[in-house]
Structure 1
Amino acid sequence: MSLGRVLRNGTVAVLAVLWLIPTWLLVVNALVPSKSYSGGPHWLPEGFGLFDNMSQAWDKAHLGPALANSLLYAVVSALAAVVVASFAAFATVVMPVRRRVLWFWVIYSGTLLPLQVFIRPLFLSYAKSSLYDTQIGLVLIYAAIAIPFAFFVMRNYALTLPREVVEAARMDGASWWRLFWQIHVPLTRSAMIAVFVFQFVAVWNDLMFGITLTTSRNIRPIMAALADLQGNYSNVGPPVVLAGALLVSLPTLVLFFSAQRFFVSGLKIHR
């Protein structure tokens, strides 16, 4: 075995261990019964209070409504981003649109700035309108921030598709609308699923917009509700907080593993 391969495998192993350590601590300390928690991190399992900790987190943080809200935000926003990005990618790659590079950078530039720079103008504009502390307000901002990256993936994937198929369809008299739905969408299905999974996870894990643009419990997303468990007025211990974090991560894990095949192939850029 070559030295380069040994170094590569060793680096991957070290990174895997570094990733597994906090995951191990999360699971082990979520298992500790909250009443017997000593105040320090547990490296080995001591007792089994996972379900009781999850029950406390569910009740005290009102995770049920928040989970439904996040499911709404993640599904609608991710679907909107996929649809808009698919249309944009089709227009800038397949259709004879002028200044394609310019349109690419206009749309993709939405990913170049950190999301924190949008907080103040968004908060002020939402506060002056009827969008603050509303579900439609969160859906709009989540869809808007998801579109640029979704367009980037869809465009790069569309560039790998054979041009001959499009040219043959146009010669047969197919309209752009028919070409999009009957040829472009089936060929880019794996990329669309990959984009949906990625944006679903991103919206589900968002905390910044959830605590900035909402105040009501019936509006806030799941991460904002979970943050209340470790707030200044919370009286639950770390095992309950960790069990709640483990609980709310299950939907994203299930989605990712169920769509893993599409996720990997959709993000792959062919030469």
Structure 2
Amino acid sequence: MSTTRATPGRATPGRAPRRRLTPGRIARNTTLVVISLIWALPTWLLLVNALVPAADYGGTPHWWPQGFGLFDNMSQAWTKADLGPSMGNSLLYAVTSAAAAIVVATTAAFATVIMPVRHKALWFWLIYSGTLLPLQVFLRPLFLAYADTGLYDAQFGLFLVYVAIAIPFAYFIMRNFALTLAPEIIEAARIDGASWWRVFWQIHVPLSRSAMVAAFVFQFVSVWNDLLFGITLSTSKNIRPVMAALAELQGNYSNVGPPVVLGGALLVSLPTVVLFFSAQRFFVSSLKLHG
């Protein structure tokens, strides 16, 4: 019976080799931990102060839990801000506008990467330039145009805005994904006589499914969290998105305390958290495919 002795510095068969801790690796890990803690600090404060009963809040933020009034705070926020209809509006805007933007972005990425079009770089910058300007520059012209055309305080008007602002970044994601696809697959399909329309629907879309889901999640969260256009282009309760309704809790005529506002903020963030964890497997599959 023979025994195998591990040689120092060599990996034992069947066992993953140990990574040595170098100064660079330690510095990198320390930096990542510090950045994670900085990112988690606002979330911690949100959770802790949302737990405080509104009647016990003294005006000073708490760093550690003081009682448990979360459900009561959420209930007050839901009632006083009338979050039900506004959450339905945001769900409608986020789903439809994100889906429409993904369809347009996927089609544009296929046309500017896969198809033999001229001036591909020009088309990229023409579409992607929509993300280069701050959204505030569009408020005045949009408000005036919407007031003149009857789109102000209308669901279709907000839908158009959200689709327009979602397309550039979605196109950026889909274009970068299309660049990683093997061109031999498209060439083989074209040689077999497949039309561009058939190549798009039967080859490009199935291969791009994980990227489409990732882009949809990003745009859904972006539209769901929008406050700027919600308070500028809508006033009615049956039109305004949820962030505009939640903002009224902090208005001049609101008499609720910060725990109620934080409880409402925590409540309206739940759909995005659920969506992210539901789509997590698509992110993982995308990483495995291109890892």
TM-score, normalised to structure 1's length? Answer: 0.97
Quote the residue 2:93 is aligned against: 73
Counting only pairs closer than 5 Å after superposition, residues 69-218 of structure 1 correspond to structure 2 as 69-218=89-238
Tell me the amino acid that sits aligned with residue 63 of structure 1: L
More divergent stretch after superposition (20-29 vs 192-201): 20-29
Deviations 1:195-233 (A, max 9, x none): 000000000001000000001111000000000001100
Quote the residue 1:236 is aligned against: 256
Query: What displacement does 1:263 show?
Result: 3.3
For the pair 1:227 / 2:240, whether they are aligned, the reply is: no
Query: What displacement does 1:264 show?
Result: 5.5
Counting only pairs closer than 5 Å after superposition, residues 50-61 of structure 1 correspond to structure 2 as 50-61=70-81
Q: Would you say the 8 A contact 1:194–1:264 is kept in 2?
A: no
Alpha-carbon spacing, 1:268–1:211, altered in 2? closer, same or farther (3 Å): farther
Deviations 1:223-264 (A, max 9, x none): 000000011000100000000000000000010111123236
For the pair 1:258 / 2:278, whether they are aligned, the reply is: yes
State which structure, 1 or 2, has the greater radius of gyration over its C-alpha atoms: 2
Query: What displacement does 1:39 show?
Result: 1.2
**Unaligned segments of structure 2, at least 5 residues:** 1-20
Query: What displacement does 1:6 show?
Result: 1.0
Cα distance in 2 for partners of 1:270, 1:189 equals: 13
Tell me the amino acid that sits aligned with residue 23 of structure 2: L
Question: After TM superposition, which residue ranges in structure 1, 4 or more long, deviate above 6 angstroms?
Answer: none
More divergent stretch after superposition (169-178 vs 194-203): 169-178
Deviations 1:58-112 (A, max 9, x none): 0000000000000000000100010000110111111111111111111111111
Q: Would you say the 8 A contact 1:31–1:50 is kept in 2?
A: yes
Cα distance in 2 for partners of 1:266, 1:130 equals: 43
Deviations 1:17-38 (A, max 9, x none): 1122211111111111111111
The correspondence for 2:36, drawn from 12, 16, 29, is: 16
The correspondence for 2:56, drawn from 28, 33, 36, is: 36
% of aligned pairs identical? Answer: 74
Cα distance in 1 for partners of 2:196, 2:233 equals: 39
Tell me the amino acid that sits aligned with residue 45 of structure 1: P
User: How many residue pairs end up in the alignment?
Assistant: 271
Query: What displacement does 1:266 show?
Result: 4.7
Cα distance in 1 for partners of 2:185, 2:229 equals: 43
Query: What displacement does 1:269 show?
Result: 10
Cα distance in 1 for partners of 2:107, 2:169 equals: 14
Query: What displacement does 1:16 show?
Result: 1.2
Residue aligned with 2:45, SS = helix
More divergent stretch after superposition (124-133 vs 258-267): 258-267
Cα distance in 1 for partners of 2:287, 2:104 equals: 18
Alpha-carbon spacing, 1:151–1:265, altered in 2? closer, same or farther (3 Å): farther
RMSD over equivalenced CA pairs, Å? 1.5
